[in-house]
Amino acid sequence: MSDLTTSAPAHERIGPIIERLRAAHPDAECALIHTNAYQLLMATILSAQCTDERVNQVTPILFAAYPMPADLLAAPREDVEAIIRPTGFFRQKARFLQEASHTLVHEFGGEVPAEVDELLRLAGVARKTANVVLGVWYNKAEGVVVDTHVKRLSGRLGLSNATTPEKIEVDLMQIVPRADWIDLSHLLIFHGRRVCAARKPNCAHCVLVELCPSAQV
């Protein structure tokens, strides 16, 4: 049992928090099904305002039809829209996928770049998507992925008082060792899905209850 209290500073609690989350969720990893960087990039773009489960239902069809960026670039826009329609905002996402593919083909030789500044040049890619690709595929810790689960849990755990993903990421990068940046996002996402739900967190069965200032037990 930790000697820390819920009122201890975030930088003192973060080590035990990560340790307990690793023990509770040893299977935490990226939930988007992919076999290469291109598939991961496209799946992450599609995951905006959509569940990973829904994306995983769509991407096998998408990648079977368009296995390479050049194939997706050459596809009729309406065909791409029809495939990805279940993910929501399908017209905008189809444009992003094809514009990103255009950049990949014409500026990066069809390969997904491994640098954050280059990834951010792709349509539909902001820091979250760039961090996913860099962390999951290239194992490069350039930032912390902040999705809805990470945002919610960062607030509840008192790791950040910020309200925007950009500021939350900065706060987390300041208190979390760089070696843990990639894992932290997966751990918080899994914990958010399994225990710390948005509507009703299951504090009675949470391994972080002694370290969480928002715990209700």
Which residues, 6 or more positions from 10, have their beta carbon under 8 angstroms from its beta carbon? Answer: 157, 158, 159, 160, 175
In the numeric block, the tokens 């040049």 are attached to 121
CA 208, CA 211: separation in Å to the nearest integer? 5
Catalytic residue among 128, 151, 180, 183: 128
Q: Which two tokens stand for residue 26?
A: 């040893």
Taking Cα atoms as reference points, which of 35, 103, 106 lies closest to residue 67?
35
Q: Is 128 a catalytic residue?
A: yes
Identify the CA nearest to 65 among candidates 52, 80, 87: 80
Spatial neighbors of 45 by CB under 8 A, at least 6 apart, are: 93, 96, 97, 100, 124, 125, 129
The residues annotated with a catalytic role in the active site are 128, 147
